Chain A
Protein backbone atom coordinates (compact mmCIF):
# COMPACT_ATOMS: atom_id res chain seq x y z
CA UNK A 1 0.00 0.00 0.00
CA UNK A 2 2.08 2.92 -1.25
CA UNK A 3 -0.46 5.46 -0.15
CA UNK A 4 0.47 4.81 3.46
CA UNK A 5 3.57 6.96 3.21
CA UNK A 6 1.58 10.05 2.33
CA UNK A 7 0.33 10.27 5.86
CA UNK A 8 3.77 10.28 7.36
CA UNK A 9 4.43 13.83 6.41
CA UNK A 10 6.59 14.93 9.31
CA UNK A 11 9.77 13.41 8.01
CA UNK A 12 10.27 15.77 5.07
CA UNK A 13 13.04 15.63 2.48
CA UNK A 14 16.05 14.56 4.54
CA UNK A 15 14.40 12.06 6.89
CA UNK A 16 14.20 9.27 4.40
CA UNK A 17 12.04 6.28 3.80
CA UNK A 18 12.87 4.62 7.10
CA UNK A 19 11.39 7.41 9.16
CA UNK A 20 8.37 7.43 6.89
CA UNK A 21 7.83 3.76 7.48
CA UNK A 22 8.35 4.18 11.21
CA UNK A 23 5.82 6.98 11.35
CA UNK A 24 3.38 4.93 9.32
CA UNK A 25 3.68 2.11 11.83
CA UNK A 26 3.24 4.57 14.67
CA UNK A 27 0.21 6.11 13.03
CA UNK A 28 -1.40 2.75 12.40
CA UNK A 29 -0.72 1.72 15.99
CA UNK A 30 -2.43 4.91 17.12
CA UNK A 31 -5.42 4.22 14.91
CA UNK A 32 -5.68 0.71 16.31
CA UNK A 33 -5.36 2.05 19.84
CA UNK A 34 -8.12 4.58 19.24
CA UNK A 35 -10.49 2.00 17.80
CA UNK A 36 -9.71 -0.63 20.42
CA UNK A 37 -10.00 1.86 23.26
CA UNK A 38 -13.36 3.00 22.04
CA UNK A 39 -14.46 -0.59 21.50
CA UNK A 40 -13.48 -1.40 25.07
CA UNK A 41 -15.07 1.69 26.50
CA UNK A 42 -18.24 1.05 24.57
CA UNK A 43 -18.54 -2.34 26.28
CA UNK A 44 -18.55 -0.55 29.61
CA UNK A 45 -20.80 2.17 28.24
CA UNK A 46 -23.20 -0.47 26.99
CA UNK A 47 -23.56 -1.93 30.46
CA UNK A 48 -23.75 1.44 32.13
CA UNK A 49 -26.24 3.02 29.75
CA UNK A 50 -28.39 -0.09 29.75
CA UNK A 51 -28.36 -0.08 33.53
CA UNK A 52 -29.23 3.60 33.75
CA UNK A 53 -32.11 3.22 31.32
CA UNK A 54 -33.41 0.34 33.39
CA UNK A 55 -33.05 2.22 36.67
CA UNK A 56 -29.96 0.36 37.85
CA UNK A 57 -26.41 1.46 38.59
CA UNK A 58 -24.51 -1.01 36.44
CA UNK A 59 -21.06 -2.30 37.31
CA UNK A 60 -19.67 -0.22 40.14
CA UNK A 61 -18.01 -2.71 42.48
CA UNK A 62 -15.10 -4.18 40.59
CA UNK A 63 -11.86 -2.83 41.95
CA UNK A 64 -8.22 -3.60 41.31
CA UNK A 65 -6.64 -3.56 44.78
CA UNK A 66 -3.79 -1.08 44.33
CA UNK A 67 -5.49 1.17 41.80
CA UNK A 68 -8.67 1.43 43.84
CA UNK A 69 -6.68 2.80 46.75
CA UNK A 70 -5.73 5.97 44.85
CA UNK A 71 -7.78 8.60 46.69
CA UNK A 72 -10.13 10.21 44.18
CA UNK A 73 -9.22 8.58 40.92
CA UNK A 74 -9.59 5.02 42.16
CA UNK A 75 -13.12 5.58 43.33
CA UNK A 76 -13.95 7.30 40.06
CA UNK A 77 -12.77 4.25 38.12
CA UNK A 78 -14.64 1.92 40.43
CA UNK A 79 -17.94 3.78 40.37
CA UNK A 80 -17.90 4.11 36.60
CA UNK A 81 -17.19 0.46 36.06
CA UNK A 82 -13.93 1.14 34.25
CA UNK A 83 -12.12 -1.56 36.13
CA UNK A 84 -14.84 -3.95 35.11
CA UNK A 85 -13.40 -3.58 31.62
CA UNK A 86 -10.04 -4.90 32.79
CA UNK A 87 -11.73 -7.68 34.70
CA UNK A 88 -13.75 -8.73 31.67
CA UNK A 89 -10.70 -8.69 29.45
CA UNK A 90 -8.68 -10.73 31.92
CA UNK A 91 -11.53 -13.17 32.27
CA UNK A 92 -11.56 -13.76 28.52
CA UNK A 93 -7.79 -14.22 28.52
CA UNK A 94 -7.57 -16.56 31.47
CA UNK A 95 -10.51 -18.82 30.72
CA UNK A 96 -9.98 -22.24 29.28
CA UNK A 97 -10.03 -22.04 25.51
CA UNK A 98 -12.24 -24.87 24.37
CA UNK A 99 -11.98 -26.37 20.92
CA UNK A 100 -15.14 -28.38 20.27
CA UNK A 101 -14.53 -31.75 18.62
CA UNK A 102 -17.07 -31.32 15.87
CA UNK A 103 -15.77 -28.10 14.33
CA UNK A 104 -13.67 -27.49 11.26
CA UNK A 105 -10.59 -26.51 13.17
CA UNK A 106 -8.80 -24.27 10.69
CA UNK A 107 -11.71 -22.02 9.82
CA UNK A 108 -12.90 -22.12 13.40
CA UNK A 109 -9.58 -20.58 14.46
CA UNK A 110 -9.41 -18.09 11.59
CA UNK A 111 -12.95 -16.75 11.99
CA UNK A 112 -12.45 -14.54 15.09
CA UNK A 113 -9.40 -12.87 13.55
CA UNK A 114 -11.40 -12.38 10.37
CA UNK A 115 -14.14 -10.69 12.35
CA UNK A 116 -11.77 -8.22 13.97
CA UNK A 117 -9.16 -7.42 11.33
CA UNK A 118 -11.36 -5.63 8.73
CA UNK A 119 -12.36 -3.20 11.42
CA UNK A 120 -8.76 -2.35 12.17
CA UNK A 121 -7.95 -2.05 8.48
CA UNK A 122 -10.81 0.38 7.89
CA UNK A 123 -9.63 2.44 10.83
CA UNK A 124 -6.54 3.30 8.77
CA UNK A 125 -8.40 5.35 6.17
CA UNK A 126 -10.60 7.33 8.51
CA UNK A 127 -9.46 10.92 8.93
CA UNK A 128 -9.66 11.45 12.67
CA UNK A 129 -8.68 15.08 12.39
CA UNK A 130 -6.68 17.59 10.43
CA UNK A 131 -3.32 19.30 10.76
CA UNK A 132 -1.53 21.95 8.82
CA UNK A 133 2.05 22.11 7.61
CA UNK A 134 3.17 25.19 5.70
CA UNK A 135 -0.38 26.23 4.96
CA UNK A 136 -1.15 22.81 3.52
CA UNK A 137 -3.97 20.81 5.10
CA UNK A 138 -3.52 17.11 5.86
CA UNK A 139 -5.86 14.49 7.30
CA UNK A 140 -4.95 12.66 10.48
CA UNK A 141 -5.28 9.25 8.93
CA UNK A 142 -2.83 6.46 8.39
CA UNK A 143 -3.58 6.22 4.71
CA UNK A 144 -5.08 9.10 2.80
CA UNK A 145 -6.07 7.21 -0.32
CA UNK A 146 -8.22 8.69 -3.07
CA UNK A 147 -10.91 6.04 -2.86
CA UNK A 148 -11.00 5.74 0.90
CA UNK A 149 -14.80 5.76 1.02
CA UNK A 150 -14.98 2.85 -1.38
CA UNK A 151 -12.21 1.12 0.52
CA UNK A 152 -13.96 1.61 3.84
CA UNK A 153 -17.30 0.32 2.57
CA UNK A 154 -15.70 -2.67 0.88
CA UNK A 155 -13.46 -3.73 3.71
CA UNK A 156 -15.91 -3.12 6.54
CA UNK A 157 -18.38 -5.40 4.75
CA UNK A 158 -15.67 -8.07 4.84
CA UNK A 159 -16.33 -8.36 8.55
CA UNK A 160 -19.27 -10.58 7.76
CA UNK A 161 -16.83 -13.21 6.47
CA UNK A 162 -15.84 -13.74 10.08
CA UNK A 163 -19.46 -14.49 10.89
CA UNK A 164 -19.88 -16.80 7.92
CA UNK A 165 -16.67 -18.69 8.66
CA UNK A 166 -17.64 -19.02 12.29
CA UNK A 167 -21.13 -20.19 11.44
CA UNK A 168 -20.02 -22.71 8.88
CA UNK A 169 -17.01 -24.07 10.72
CA UNK A 170 -18.92 -24.45 13.97
CA UNK A 171 -20.81 -27.29 12.31
CA UNK A 172 -23.90 -26.76 14.39
CA UNK A 173 -27.29 -25.44 13.46
CA UNK A 174 -27.65 -22.23 15.45
CA UNK A 175 -24.33 -20.70 14.40
CA UNK A 176 -25.11 -21.73 10.85
CA UNK A 177 -28.49 -20.00 10.82
CA UNK A 178 -26.97 -16.98 12.51
CA UNK A 179 -24.26 -16.73 9.89
CA UNK A 180 -26.79 -17.07 7.08
CA UNK A 181 -28.85 -14.29 8.57
CA UNK A 182 -25.80 -12.09 9.10
CA UNK A 183 -24.69 -12.46 5.52
CA UNK A 184 -28.17 -11.94 4.12
CA UNK A 185 -28.52 -8.83 6.22
CA UNK A 186 -25.18 -7.38 5.21
CA UNK A 187 -25.79 -8.09 1.53
CA UNK A 188 -29.22 -6.48 1.60
CA UNK A 189 -28.25 -3.40 3.51
CA UNK A 190 -24.93 -2.89 1.75
CA UNK A 191 -26.91 -1.93 -1.36
CA UNK A 192 -29.01 0.66 0.41
CA UNK A 193 -25.93 1.95 2.18
CA UNK A 194 -23.89 2.39 -0.97
CA UNK A 195 -26.83 3.98 -2.78
CA UNK A 196 -27.36 6.42 0.05
CA UNK A 197 -23.75 7.55 -0.13
CA UNK A 198 -23.85 8.23 -3.90
CA UNK A 199 -25.62 11.62 -3.64
CA UNK A 200 -22.97 12.71 -1.19
CA UNK A 201 -20.24 11.66 -3.57
CA UNK A 202 -21.98 13.51 -6.40
CA UNK A 203 -22.26 16.60 -4.27
CA UNK A 204 -18.61 16.49 -3.32
CA UNK A 205 -17.72 15.81 -6.92
CA UNK A 206 -19.00 19.27 -7.84
CA UNK A 207 -16.12 20.87 -6.00
CA UNK A 208 -13.46 18.22 -5.52
CA UNK A 209 -11.20 16.18 -7.75
CA UNK A 210 -11.39 13.16 -5.48
CA UNK A 211 -15.01 12.82 -4.38
CA UNK A 212 -14.48 9.27 -3.12
CA UNK A 213 -11.91 10.31 -0.58
CA UNK A 214 -13.24 10.59 2.95
CA UNK A 215 -10.97 13.55 3.50
CA UNK A 216 -12.45 15.60 0.67
CA UNK A 217 -15.96 14.60 1.73
CA UNK A 218 -15.19 15.86 5.20
CA UNK A 219 -13.71 19.05 3.83
CA UNK A 220 -16.75 19.66 1.63
CA UNK A 221 -18.84 20.00 4.78
CA UNK A 222 -17.16 23.23 5.77
CA UNK A 223 -20.38 25.18 5.38
CA UNK A 224 -23.17 22.72 5.91
CA UNK A 225 -23.10 19.19 7.21
CA UNK A 226 -24.48 16.64 4.81
CA UNK A 227 -27.01 15.45 7.36
CA UNK A 228 -28.71 18.82 6.89
CA UNK A 229 -28.49 19.01 3.11
CA UNK A 230 -29.17 15.32 2.59
CA UNK A 231 -31.29 14.11 5.49
CA UNK A 232 -32.75 11.13 3.63
CA UNK A 233 -29.32 9.84 2.69
CA UNK A 234 -28.19 10.25 6.26
CA UNK A 235 -31.22 8.37 7.56
CA UNK A 236 -30.79 5.48 5.13
CA UNK A 237 -27.10 5.29 5.89
CA UNK A 238 -27.78 5.26 9.61
CA UNK A 239 -30.39 2.52 9.36
CA UNK A 240 -28.14 0.49 7.11
CA UNK A 241 -25.29 1.04 9.53
CA UNK A 242 -27.36 -0.47 12.33
CA UNK A 243 -28.02 -3.48 10.14
CA UNK A 244 -24.41 -3.77 9.00
CA UNK A 245 -23.10 -3.73 12.53
CA UNK A 246 -25.69 -6.30 13.57
CA UNK A 247 -27.02 -4.06 16.28
CA UNK A 248 -30.48 -4.05 17.70
CA UNK A 249 -33.11 -3.56 16.29
CA UNK A 250 -31.51 -5.57 13.47
CA UNK A 251 -29.45 -8.11 15.38
CA UNK A 252 -31.31 -11.12 14.03
CA UNK A 253 -27.95 -12.79 13.45
CA UNK A 254 -27.45 -13.34 17.15
CA UNK A 255 -30.94 -13.08 18.55
CA UNK A 256 -30.60 -15.09 21.70
CA UNK A 257 -34.27 -15.96 21.82
CA UNK A 258 -34.16 -18.12 18.73
CA UNK A 259 -30.45 -18.70 18.03
CA UNK A 260 -28.78 -19.11 21.45
CA UNK A 261 -26.21 -16.47 20.54
CA UNK A 262 -25.94 -16.73 16.79
CA UNK A 263 -22.75 -17.38 14.90
CA UNK A 264 -20.48 -17.35 17.93
CA UNK A 265 -22.47 -19.89 19.92
CA UNK A 266 -19.64 -22.43 19.83
CA UNK A 267 -16.97 -19.97 20.83
CA UNK A 268 -15.59 -19.32 24.26
CA UNK A 269 -12.90 -17.41 26.11
CA UNK A 270 -10.63 -15.24 24.01
CA UNK A 271 -12.02 -16.24 20.64
CA UNK A 272 -15.41 -15.04 21.76
CA UNK A 273 -13.70 -11.93 23.09
CA UNK A 274 -12.35 -11.21 19.62
CA UNK A 275 -15.84 -11.44 18.13
CA UNK A 276 -17.11 -9.21 20.89
CA UNK A 277 -14.43 -6.56 20.38
CA UNK A 278 -14.79 -6.87 16.63
CA UNK A 279 -18.47 -6.13 16.89
CA UNK A 280 -17.91 -3.02 18.96
CA UNK A 281 -14.96 -2.03 16.78
CA UNK A 282 -17.31 -2.29 13.83
CA UNK A 283 -19.65 0.12 15.55
CA UNK A 284 -16.80 2.54 16.24
CA UNK A 285 -15.63 2.43 12.64
CA UNK A 286 -19.18 2.62 11.34
CA UNK A 287 -19.93 5.65 13.46
CA UNK A 288 -16.76 7.36 12.36
CA UNK A 289 -17.78 6.73 8.76
CA UNK A 290 -21.16 8.24 9.50
CA UNK A 291 -19.53 11.20 11.20
CA UNK A 292 -17.19 11.77 8.29
CA UNK A 293 -19.94 11.47 5.72
CA UNK A 294 -22.80 13.28 7.37
CA UNK A 295 -21.88 14.87 10.67
CA UNK A 296 -19.18 17.23 9.49
CA UNK A 297 -16.23 15.12 10.64
CA UNK A 298 -14.10 17.33 12.89
CA UNK A 299 -16.07 20.57 12.67
CA UNK A 300 -17.68 21.34 16.01
CA UNK A 301 -20.85 22.97 14.67
CA UNK A 302 -22.39 23.23 11.22
CA UNK A 303 -20.67 26.04 9.37
CA UNK A 304 -17.87 26.21 11.87
CA UNK A 305 -14.44 24.66 11.79
CA UNK A 306 -11.28 25.01 13.81
CA UNK A 307 -9.22 27.85 12.29
CA UNK A 308 -5.90 27.14 10.65
CA UNK A 309 -4.30 30.07 12.40
CA UNK A 310 -4.36 28.26 15.76
CA UNK A 311 -1.86 25.76 14.43
CA UNK A 312 -1.45 22.58 16.41
CA UNK A 313 -4.11 23.56 18.95
CA UNK A 314 -6.62 23.41 16.15
CA UNK A 315 -5.28 20.04 15.12
CA UNK A 316 -5.74 18.65 18.63
CA UNK A 317 -9.17 20.22 18.89
CA UNK A 318 -10.19 18.68 15.58
CA UNK A 319 -9.13 15.26 16.82
CA UNK A 320 -10.97 15.75 20.11
CA UNK A 321 -14.10 16.88 18.28
CA UNK A 322 -14.02 13.76 16.19
CA UNK A 323 -13.51 11.49 19.19
CA UNK A 324 -16.32 13.25 21.04
CA UNK A 325 -18.60 12.68 18.10
CA UNK A 326 -17.66 9.00 18.08
CA UNK A 327 -18.56 8.83 21.75
CA UNK A 328 -21.89 10.51 21.06
CA UNK A 329 -22.61 8.09 18.23
CA UNK A 330 -21.75 5.14 20.47
CA UNK A 331 -24.16 6.46 23.05
CA UNK A 332 -26.79 6.72 20.35
CA UNK A 333 -26.17 3.13 19.26
CA UNK A 334 -26.52 1.88 22.81
CA UNK A 335 -29.50 4.10 23.49
CA UNK A 336 -31.33 2.71 20.47
CA UNK A 337 -30.46 -0.82 21.50
CA UNK A 338 -32.10 -0.46 24.88
CA UNK A 339 -35.14 1.26 23.42
CA UNK A 340 -36.25 -0.83 20.48
CA UNK A 341 -37.18 -4.48 20.40
CA UNK A 342 -35.69 -6.77 17.79
CA UNK A 343 -37.32 -6.96 14.38
CA UNK A 344 -38.34 -10.29 13.00
CA UNK A 345 -36.03 -11.63 10.32
CA UNK A 346 -38.57 -11.24 7.52
CA UNK A 347 -39.33 -7.71 8.67
CA UNK A 348 -35.65 -6.86 8.46
CA UNK A 349 -35.45 -8.23 4.96
CA UNK A 350 -38.59 -6.51 3.73
CA UNK A 351 -37.47 -3.23 5.26
CA UNK A 352 -34.16 -3.53 3.50
CA UNK A 353 -35.34 -4.58 0.07
CA UNK A 354 -38.81 -3.10 -0.19
CA UNK A 355 -38.28 0.19 1.61
CA UNK A 356 -34.67 1.26 1.90
CA UNK A 357 -33.37 0.25 -1.53
CA UNK A 358 -36.20 1.98 -3.47
CA UNK A 359 -35.97 4.96 -1.16
CA UNK A 360 -32.23 5.20 -1.67
CA UNK A 361 -32.69 4.95 -5.44
CA UNK A 362 -35.35 7.64 -5.42
CA UNK A 363 -33.16 9.81 -3.27
CA UNK A 364 -30.26 9.31 -5.63
CA UNK A 365 -32.41 10.14 -8.67
CA UNK A 366 -33.77 13.24 -6.96
CA UNK A 367 -30.29 14.52 -6.22
CA UNK A 368 -29.12 13.80 -9.76
CA UNK A 369 -31.97 15.93 -11.10
CA UNK A 370 -31.38 18.58 -8.46
CA UNK A 371 -27.70 18.82 -9.27
CA UNK A 372 -28.30 18.81 -13.00
CA UNK A 373 -30.48 21.88 -12.58
Chain B
Protein backbone atom coordinates (compact mmCIF):
# COMPACT_ATOMS: atom_id res chain seq x y z
CA UNK B 1 0.00 0.00 0.00
CA UNK B 2 1.24 3.38 -0.85
CA UNK B 3 2.26 5.48 2.08
CA UNK B 4 1.15 9.07 1.99
CA UNK B 5 3.77 11.28 3.54
CA UNK B 6 2.29 14.19 5.39
CA UNK B 7 3.98 17.33 4.16
CA UNK B 8 4.21 20.39 6.30
CA UNK B 9 2.22 23.22 4.82
CA UNK B 10 4.64 25.93 3.80
CA UNK B 11 4.07 29.50 4.76
CA UNK B 12 3.76 32.17 2.11
CA UNK B 13 7.30 33.36 2.65
CA UNK B 14 8.64 29.85 2.45
CA UNK B 15 6.87 29.29 -0.82
CA UNK B 16 8.61 32.27 -2.39
CA UNK B 17 11.76 30.27 -1.74
CA UNK B 18 13.75 33.46 -1.21
CA UNK B 19 14.61 33.26 2.51
CA UNK B 20 15.88 29.72 1.94
CA UNK B 21 18.05 30.91 -0.92
CA UNK B 22 19.47 33.67 1.20
CA UNK B 23 20.25 31.33 4.09
CA UNK B 24 21.83 28.90 1.64
CA UNK B 25 23.96 31.67 0.22
CA UNK B 26 25.00 32.58 3.73
CA UNK B 27 26.11 29.01 4.41
CA UNK B 28 28.18 28.80 1.26
CA UNK B 29 29.70 32.19 1.99
CA UNK B 30 30.75 30.96 5.41
CA UNK B 31 32.33 27.95 3.77
CA UNK B 32 34.09 30.25 1.35
CA UNK B 33 36.11 31.77 4.18
CA UNK B 34 36.73 28.58 6.12
CA UNK B 35 40.21 27.07 6.05
CA UNK B 36 40.72 24.59 3.24
CA UNK B 37 40.73 20.89 3.89
CA UNK B 38 42.87 20.03 0.90
CA UNK B 39 46.26 18.52 1.62
CA UNK B 40 48.62 19.87 -1.01
CA UNK B 41 50.11 16.48 -1.42
CA UNK B 42 53.58 16.54 -2.91
CA UNK B 43 54.40 19.62 -0.82
CA UNK B 44 52.71 18.44 2.36
CA UNK B 45 52.55 14.94 3.70
CA UNK B 46 49.93 13.52 5.94
CA UNK B 47 50.76 11.61 9.11
CA UNK B 48 50.06 7.96 8.56
CA UNK B 49 48.16 6.02 11.20
CA UNK B 50 49.78 3.21 13.17
CA UNK B 51 49.53 -0.12 11.40
CA UNK B 52 49.56 1.51 7.96
CA UNK B 53 50.34 -1.04 5.28
CA UNK B 54 52.84 0.55 2.96
CA UNK B 55 55.54 -1.10 0.94
CA UNK B 56 56.92 -4.42 2.31
CA UNK B 57 60.55 -4.19 3.35
CA UNK B 58 63.18 -6.46 4.83
CA UNK B 59 64.57 -5.49 8.22
CA UNK B 60 67.66 -6.23 10.25
CA UNK B 61 67.78 -6.70 13.96
CA UNK B 62 69.50 -4.33 16.34
CA UNK B 63 72.81 -6.12 15.83
CA UNK B 64 72.58 -5.52 12.10
CA UNK B 65 71.95 -9.18 11.34
CA UNK B 66 69.60 -9.96 8.51
CA UNK B 67 66.63 -11.60 10.09
CA UNK B 68 65.31 -13.49 7.10
CA UNK B 69 66.13 -17.17 7.17
CA UNK B 70 64.69 -17.80 3.72
CA UNK B 71 61.93 -20.12 4.85
CA UNK B 72 59.94 -18.89 1.84
CA UNK B 73 56.65 -18.75 3.77
CA UNK B 74 56.08 -15.23 2.50
CA UNK B 75 56.65 -16.39 -1.04
CA UNK B 76 54.09 -19.16 -0.59
CA UNK B 77 51.52 -17.00 1.11
CA UNK B 78 51.79 -14.06 -1.22
CA UNK B 79 48.44 -13.95 -3.09
CA UNK B 80 49.77 -11.91 -5.98
CA UNK B 81 53.02 -13.86 -6.31
CA UNK B 82 55.07 -10.74 -5.94
CA UNK B 83 57.79 -12.23 -3.74
CA UNK B 84 60.58 -14.44 -4.98
CA UNK B 85 63.10 -15.89 -2.55
CA UNK B 86 66.16 -17.90 -3.44
CA UNK B 87 67.47 -19.62 -0.28
CA UNK B 88 71.15 -19.59 0.42
CA UNK B 89 73.63 -20.62 3.06
CA UNK B 90 75.31 -18.36 5.55
CA UNK B 91 79.02 -18.74 4.99
CA UNK B 92 80.83 -20.80 7.58
CA UNK B 93 83.18 -18.04 8.67
CA UNK B 94 80.29 -15.78 9.61
CA UNK B 95 79.51 -14.98 13.21
CA UNK B 96 76.00 -16.24 12.59
CA UNK B 97 76.94 -19.43 10.77
CA UNK B 98 74.85 -21.47 13.21
CA UNK B 99 71.65 -19.88 11.84
CA UNK B 100 72.58 -21.66 8.65
CA UNK B 101 70.28 -20.02 6.15
CA UNK B 102 69.74 -16.60 4.65
CA UNK B 103 68.30 -15.60 1.30
CA UNK B 104 70.81 -15.40 -1.50
CA UNK B 105 68.34 -13.28 -3.39
CA UNK B 106 65.05 -11.74 -2.34
CA UNK B 107 62.96 -9.75 -4.79
CA UNK B 108 59.56 -8.16 -4.43
CA UNK B 109 57.80 -6.94 -7.53
CA UNK B 110 56.16 -3.72 -6.35
CA UNK B 111 54.03 -3.65 -9.48
CA UNK B 112 52.41 -6.88 -8.32
CA UNK B 113 52.30 -6.29 -4.58
CA UNK B 114 48.83 -5.57 -3.27
CA UNK B 115 49.93 -4.44 0.20
CA UNK B 116 47.81 -7.08 1.92
CA UNK B 117 50.38 -7.68 4.63
CA UNK B 118 50.09 -11.47 4.56
CA UNK B 119 53.85 -11.83 4.17
CA UNK B 120 54.32 -9.89 7.36
CA UNK B 121 51.85 -12.12 9.17
CA UNK B 122 53.35 -15.32 7.82
CA UNK B 123 56.94 -14.46 8.65
CA UNK B 124 58.15 -16.45 11.66
CA UNK B 125 61.18 -14.21 12.02
CA UNK B 126 59.47 -10.83 11.71
CA UNK B 127 61.90 -10.14 8.93
CA UNK B 128 59.48 -8.73 6.40
CA UNK B 129 57.56 -5.70 7.57
CA UNK B 130 55.13 -3.41 5.80
CA UNK B 131 56.28 0.13 6.41
CA UNK B 132 54.99 3.59 5.58
CA UNK B 133 56.33 4.11 2.09
CA UNK B 134 53.34 4.49 -0.24
CA UNK B 135 54.56 6.41 -3.24
CA UNK B 136 56.11 3.71 -5.40
CA UNK B 137 56.76 4.65 -8.94
CA UNK B 138 59.11 4.00 -11.77
CA UNK B 139 59.35 4.45 -15.49
CA UNK B 140 59.48 0.73 -16.22
CA UNK B 141 58.43 -2.53 -14.64
CA UNK B 142 62.01 -3.46 -13.87
CA UNK B 143 62.39 -0.28 -11.83
CA UNK B 144 59.63 -1.52 -9.57
CA UNK B 145 61.42 -4.80 -9.00
CA UNK B 146 63.11 -4.46 -5.63
CA UNK B 147 66.06 -6.67 -4.90
CA UNK B 148 67.43 -7.68 -1.54
CA UNK B 149 69.74 -4.72 -1.16
CA UNK B 150 67.11 -2.09 -1.83
CA UNK B 151 64.64 -3.92 0.38
CA UNK B 152 67.09 -3.80 3.26
CA UNK B 153 67.87 -0.17 2.51
CA UNK B 154 64.17 0.63 2.69
CA UNK B 155 63.62 -1.52 5.76
CA UNK B 156 66.38 -0.41 8.07
CA UNK B 157 66.60 -1.83 11.55
CA UNK B 158 63.70 -3.15 13.56
CA UNK B 159 64.57 -2.87 17.24
CA UNK B 160 63.06 -6.12 18.40
CA UNK B 161 62.97 -7.03 22.07
CA UNK B 162 62.99 -10.74 21.47
CA UNK B 163 66.40 -11.88 20.29
CA UNK B 164 65.41 -15.28 19.01
CA UNK B 165 68.80 -16.31 17.66
CA UNK B 166 70.98 -14.75 20.27
CA UNK B 167 73.15 -17.29 21.99
CA UNK B 168 72.84 -17.68 25.72
CA UNK B 169 76.03 -16.64 27.47
CA UNK B 170 77.35 -20.15 27.68
CA UNK B 171 75.77 -23.34 26.39
CA UNK B 172 77.39 -25.39 29.13
CA UNK B 173 75.57 -23.28 31.63
CA UNK B 174 72.30 -24.41 30.11
CA UNK B 175 73.33 -28.04 30.06
CA UNK B 176 74.34 -27.93 33.67
CA UNK B 177 71.00 -26.58 34.82
CA UNK B 178 69.02 -29.71 34.14
Contacts and interface: CB of A to CB of B under 8 A. Distances in A.
Interface residues of B, number: 13
Interface string B110-126: 00000000000000000
A340 interface: yes
Given A53-B31, A55-B34, A335 B25 contact: yes
B5 interface: no
Contact of A338 (B28, B34, B37, B38): B28
Given A55-B34, A56-B36, A57-B40, A335 B29 contact: yes
A336 interface: yes
Interface string A37-65: 00000000000010011111100000000
B32 A56 contact: no
A336 B29 CA distance: 10
B37 A56 contact: yes
Contacts, number: 33
A242 to B, nearest CB: 11
Interface string B2-41: 0000000000000000000100110111011010111010
A57 B41 CA distance: 12
A49 B33 CA distance: 10
A339 interface: yes
Contacts of A52: 31-32, 36
A56 B37 CA distance: 6
Interface residues of A, number: 12
A54 B36 CA distance: 8
Contacts of A49: 32
Contacts of B34: 55
A338 B27 CA distance: 11
A339 B22 CA distance: 10
B28 A55 contact: no
Given A53-B31, A55-B31, A336 B40 contact: no
Contacts of A340: 21, 24
Given A53-B31, A54-B31, A55-B31, A339 B24 contact: yes
Contacts of B32: 49, 52-53, 335
Interface string B78-109: 00000000000000000000000000000000
A55 B35 CA distance: 7
Given A339-B21, A340-B21, A57 B28 contact: no
B95 to A, nearest CB: 53
Contact of A55 (B27, B29, B36, B40): B36
Interface string A311-353: 0000000000000000000000001101110000000000000
B68 to A, nearest CB: 42
Interface of A: 49, 52-57, 335-336, 338-340
Given A52-B36, A335-B29, 4 more contacts: A53-B32, A55-B38, A335-B32, A339-B25
